[in-house]
């Protein structure tokens, strides 16, 4: 990198800082932080624990955004000043140091950019994920299980918590269905870009002729809604079925009809839960999933009306991302139009860069 390239880099990063500031509105955030501090100082603040918790979570999110913006702003300001001084004084050592730190500087600005993009009303919520295999039998069931493991590994890397809601094993391998909650800061904000059809191309381990197979699986991501979001579901709107749970869990699992399946009649949205031995707890979890899914459906419909997007089926031409393992190695996302060669790393949960690239592509 020469002086001209570094000057152009600084110009680009300064523009990004300006864009971040216009979106973030630090003055408005500081005003809201001052309001929250006053609320916390009220004598009866802790009388309502739920509200106090929400206030604390909002304050922490705002403080985090402000801290990241301030760090990015200070970093780019220092880089500008140091570079100008080094050029004036012909300080080669300082210029070389700035060149060596260019990648780190870009990463700081990019992380701040992503943080600003996760400032939507739902982004800070936990995420409910459901994974379903497409047509293809055992191969697709195995692919669904690979995706499930990918998100478990990603959540582990992020320090997020996983709560399993429903898990149904495939007849020969993989899974027929899995639903789980990912809990952590901005979990839904990150994972919402995973909503869609995922395509795998590989030499199937289940094919004795070692032929290349294409498999599909759908990933549905919904925000875990709280009491502030009003989704009304009446008894006449749903059908509730009970059945015996399957899979691991001891003798009790197969002796009682503790598993719950709820169908929302109007939209044909189906959710199910069999993770707990208590039918009552499974029903409560399933209702939470249904409310979250209906809320996500509302968001999808609004987006579809704005962009003219039709609902996709689990098959050819509808994928958001392709994972190709044969005849070459590449993961390519259709939203960012960027390809990644570290297929094994991505399938092992190294998703951050890919998710960030999609977020940036969708917001530019």
For 296-341, what is each residue's pLDDT tens digit? 788 777 666 655 444 445 544 578 999 999 889 999 999 999 999 9
How far is Cα of residue 63 from the mean position of the Cα atoms in its chain? 21
- CA distances 225 to 177, 275, 345, Å, are 22, 20, 32
CATH 1.20.58.410: which residues of the chain?
Answer: 3-117
Long-range contacts of 348-352 (CB under 8 A, 24+ apart): 348/150, 348/153, 349/150, 349/151, 349/152, 349/153, 349/154, 349/155, 349/156, 349/157, 350/154, 350/157, 351/150, 351/154, 352/154, 352/157
Mean pLDDT of 38-59: 91
Rounded to whole angstroms, the Cα distance separating 291 from 301 reads: 15
The pair of structure tokens assigned to 130 is: 């459901």
Residue 105's nearest CA partner among 82, 83, 79, 84 is: 79
What is the rounded distance in angstroms from the CA atom of residue 53 to the CA atom of residue 315? Answer: 43
User: Six-digit token pair at 212?
Assistant: 């290349």
Judged against a pLDDT cut of 80, whether residue 222 lies above it is answered with yes
End-to-end CA distance of the chain: 26
H helix runs in 3-48, sequence order = 3-24, 26-40
Q: Cα angle at 168 between 269 and 203, to 5 degrees?
A: 105
CA-to-CA distance for 199 and 26, rounded, in angstroms?
A: 41
* Start and end residues for every CATH 3.30.70.1660 domain found in the chain: 124-364
Most confident of 37-46, 114-123, 270-279: 37-46
What's the average model confidence in pLDDT over 155-165? Answer: 94
Answer yes or no: are the C-beta atoms of 135 and 215 closer than 8 Å. Answer: no
pLDDT of 228 reads 60
For the segment(s) 124-364, the CATH number from 1.20.1090.10, 3.30.70.1660, 3.20.20.70, 2.40.30.30 is: 3.30.70.1660
pLDDT above 70 as % of the chain:
90
Strand 238-243: give its sheet, edge to edge: 238-243, 259-264, 269-273
* Residue written as token pair 């990912």: 182
**223, pLDDT greater than 50:** yes
pLDDT digits (tens, 9 = 90+) for 225-274: 865 666 788 889 899 988 877 654 444 444 566 889 999 999 888 888 88
Orientation of helix 102-117 relative to helix 92-100, angle to 10°: 40
104, 157, 154: which is closest to 129 by C-alpha?
A: 154
Which comes out higher in pLDDT, residue 315 or 71? 71
Two tokens, residue 81: 């000043």
Residue 15, pLDDT above cutoff 50: yes
Element (H, E) at 62: helix 49-89
- Cβ(350)–Cβ(156) below 8 Å: no
DSSP state of 311: P
94-144 confidence digits (pLDDT tens): 999 999 999 999 988 988 888 788 877 788 889 999 999 987 788 999 999
Beta bridge partners of 271: 262
Which architecture, in CATH terms, is 3-117? Up-down Bundle (1.20)
d(CA 5, CA 9): 6
**Does 30 have pLDDT greater than 90?**
yes
Residue 142 CA to residue 148 CA, distance in Å, equals: 10
C-alpha span between 333 and 320 (Å, rounded)? 6
Taking Cα atoms as reference points, which of 284, 3, 295, 265 lies closest to residue 122?
A: 295
| Cβ–Cβ under 8 Å, residues 348 and 334 | no
pLDDT of residue 249: 44
Q: What residue has token string 């098959």? A: 315
């Amino acid at each position: 990198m020469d002086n001209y390239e570094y000057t152009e880099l600084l110009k680009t990063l300064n523009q990004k800082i300006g864009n971040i500031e216009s979106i973030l509105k630090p003055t408005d955030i500081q005003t809201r932080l001052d309001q929250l501090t006053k609320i916390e100082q009220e004598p009866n603040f802790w009388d309502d624990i739920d509200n106090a918790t929400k206030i604390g979570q909002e304050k922490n999110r705002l403080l985090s955004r402000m801290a990241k913006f301030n760090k990015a702003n200070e970093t780019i300001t220092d880089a500008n000043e140091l570079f100008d001084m080094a050029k004036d004084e012909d300080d080669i050592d300082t210029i070389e140091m700035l060149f060596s730190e260019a990648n780190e500087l870009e990463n700081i600005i990019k992380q701040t950019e992503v943080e600003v993009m996760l400032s939507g009303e739902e982004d800070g919520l936990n995420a409910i994920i459901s994974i379903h295999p497409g047509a293809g039998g055992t191969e697709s069931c195995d692919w669904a299980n690979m995706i499930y493991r990918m998100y478990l590994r990603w959540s582990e890397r992020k320090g997020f918590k996983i709560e399993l809601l429903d898990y149904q094993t495939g007849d020969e391998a993989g899974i027929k269905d899995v639903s789980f909650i990912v809990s952590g800061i901005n979990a839904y904000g990150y994972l919402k870009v995973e909503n869609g059809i995922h395509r795998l191309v590989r030499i199937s381990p289940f094919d004795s002729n070692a032929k290349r197979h294409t498999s599909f699986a759908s990933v549905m991501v919904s925000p875990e809604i709280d009491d502030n979001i009003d989704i009304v579901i009446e008894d006449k709107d749903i059908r509730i079925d009970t059945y015996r749970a399957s899979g691991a869990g001891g003798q009790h699992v197969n002796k009682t009809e503790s598993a719950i399946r709820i169908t929302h009649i109007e939209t044909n949205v189906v959710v199910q839960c069999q993770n707990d031995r208590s039918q009552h707890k499974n029903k409560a979890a399933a209702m939470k999933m249904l409310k979250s899914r209906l809320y996500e459906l509302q968001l999808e419909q609004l987006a579809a009306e704005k962009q003219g997007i039709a609902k996709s089926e689990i098959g050819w031409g509808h994928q958001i991302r392709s994972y190709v393992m044969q005849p070459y190695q590449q993961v390519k996302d259709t939203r960012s139009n960027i390809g990644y060669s570290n297929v094994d790393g991505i399938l092992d949960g190294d998703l951050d860069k890919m998710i960030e690239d999609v977020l940036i592509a969708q917001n530019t």
